[in-house]
Amino acid sequence: MQLVFADHPVPQTVTKSLFLAGPSPRDIHTIDWRHEAVRCLSDFDGTVFIPIPEHQFYAKSSDERVNSASWTYDGQTSWECECRHIADAIVFWIPRDIKGGMPGFTTNIEFGEDLHSGKIVYGRPDSAEKCRYLDKRMEELQLPIFNSLSDTLRHAMSLLGQGAPRKHGEVYIPLFIWNTHQFQSWYSNLKLAGNRLEKAKILHHAEFKPPKHIFSYILWVKIWIEKEKRYKENEFVFARKDINTVVAYYRIDNDTKIAIIKEFRSSVNNPDGFVYELPGGSAILPTEIDPLLNAKHELEEEVGLVIDDISRFKYLGRRQLVATLSSHQAELYSIELRKEEYEQLLEAEKKMKTFGVNDDTERTYVQLISISQLRDSFLDFSMLGMIYQALYFQS
């Protein structure tokens, strides 16, 4: 176990880490709960951030608790903020005792800042004062509340598992983001280009549970661009799970019909009020599944078309869709429909039959669109590009 105190430099390597957040004693006579925490963590083989200067933590008298000449309040605040960003889990143990020298006023601010971080683990003794509101907020997020320090720490350690070695700018990526396919796909290409992640901060994430798995996140980054010998730090990366998309088409006379879905999405920005797109999507599962099987599933789910012979799907490649904003990619497939399949979709369009997943509030409608109608349709440029790839660039 590596203990990192508030007067220590930020570590350049981590495998897994905990930050011990909560009230600190205001006098020498009050026992700091973090001593017990360190004993409970004796088998922990990671990094533990302790937001107290080392000499104060081990001080036996008031004289020994005097801050060193190098200590400043601003430095302490900056250290705490930075190390909370780095920590894979932030343990809030709050033995609040207002008259007893453990009011935890600053703790309330930090708790609010970290509540939606995806890293918070919370506990307090039954005797703790003024914790009702904190309890309520944890209950709203369906997160556990512990009443013993050992149980709180045990849970935090269980969340981290074996950890993952990270160094330099990588230490700013918490484990629950580091372990996602979304991050590793983006990061591996960043390194292949010769660039370097210098620093990062999670701004937001969306998860599905149980079990917990990450669908999307927003990451502020500072990147060294090797080919230009400069830093870029005024942008963020939006990442979500990759999608698998299908261009299902039918050739009729001198025309080609393409199966499109019409669906309301909150981000729609056209006067029709509906998004028009190719059948496709991502699997809301904690583990990755075969892209082809997911493409087949999306076609069935969104237009009601069951294709038993998956060899009919043709793989067309993988590309980013909105490279200036989002790092996710689409894996594209095409399939030429048979007459009976085309007629099935035609009937569904005529009857305005709805498809989709009710539990996800997804409601899709089939539309069959001709090549000649593409230019005046509400399909976005990424969809038009995939259709062009399928119909004109196939080998």
Secondary structure (3-state) at 337: coil
Same domain, 62 and 136: yes
- 64 has pLDDT over 70: no
Do residue 6 and residue 114 come from a single domain? yes
The verdict on residue 170 lying in a domain is no
pLDDT confidence band for 66 (50 / 70 / 90): low
Q: Do 216 and 150 reside in the same domain of the chain?
A: no
Which two structure tokens, joined as six digits, stand for 15?
A: 């495998």
Range of the domain at 316: 243-393
Query: Cα separation of 309 and 305, whole Å?
Result: 12
Residue among 367, 370, 371 at smallest CA distance from 351: 367
**Residue 283: which residues within 8 A CB-CB, separation 6 or more?**
241, 289, 294, 297
Q: Which residue has the tokens 């609010």?
A: 112
In the three-class reduction of DSSP (H, G, I as helix; E, B as strand; rest coil), residue 391 is classed as: helix
Average pLDDT over residues 375-384: 95
- Span 114-157, pLDDT tens digits: 999 999 999 999 999 999 999 999 999 999 999 999 999 999 99
User: Average of pLDDT values for 182-211?
Assistant: 93
The last residue of a domain, from among 220, 240, 260 = 240
236 and 280, same domain (yes or no): no
pLDDT at position 95 is 95
**Lowest-pLDDT range of 266-270, 298-302, 357-361:** 357-361
The reply to whether 166 falls in a domain is no
Residue 331 lies in a domain: yes
Q: Is 225 in the same domain as 250?
A: no
> Quick one: 211 and 309 in the same domain?
no
Q: Which residues contact 18 (CB under 8 A, 6 or more apart)?
A: 41, 44, 46, 47, 48, 49, 87, 88, 89, 90, 91, 153, 156, 157, 160
Q: What pLDDT band is residue 286 in, cutting at 50, 70 and 90?
A: low
Same domain membership, residue 70 and residue 156: yes
For residues 322 and 372, state if they share a domain: yes
- Per-residue pLDDT of 298-338, as tens digits, reads 999 999 999 999 999 999 999 999 999 999 999 999 999 99
Residue 384's contacts (CB-CB under 8 Å, 6 or more residues apart) are 374
| Structural domains counted in the chain | 3
Q: Are residues 263 and 386 in the same domain?
A: yes
Give the lowest-confidence range in 265-279, 282-296, 322-336. 282-296
Q: Which CATH number is 372's domain given?
A: 3.90.79.10
Q: Does 200 have pLDDT greater than 90?
A: yes
DSSP 118-139: S-EEEE--TT-SS-HHHHHHHH
Nearest to 351 by CA among 303, 279, 306, 297: 303
> 59-68, 98-107, 333-342: which has the highest mean pLDDT?
333-342
CB 117 within 8 A of CB 137: no
Average pLDDT over residues 189-212: 91
Domain assignment of residue 173, yes or no? no
The stretch 59-70 carries a mean pLDDT of 67
- The pLDDT assigned to 19 comes to 98
pLDDT confidence of residue 56? 87
Q: Is the pLDDT of residue 395 over 60?
A: no
Using DSSP bridges, classify how beta strands 243-252 and 89-93 pair: parallel, antiparallel or unpaired.
unpaired
Distance CA(168)–CA(184), nearest Å, equals 16
The CA distances from residue 221 to 121, 231, 382, in Å, are 25, 10, 25
CATH of the domain at 146: 3.40.50.450
**Does residue 57 sit within a domain?**
yes
Considering the chain, what is the average pLDDT of its residues?
93
* pLDDT tens, residue by residue, 151-165: 999 999 999 999 999
Of 108, 128, 160, the last residue of a domain is 160
218 in any annotated domain: yes
Whether residue 283 sits in one domain with residue 364: yes
Nearest to 82 by CA among 166, 12, 24, 162: 12
Query: 208 and 88 in one domain?
Result: no
CB-CB contact of 40 with 150 (8 Å): yes
pLDDT over 70 at 38, yes or no:
yes
Q: Are residues 259 and 347 in the same domain?
A: yes
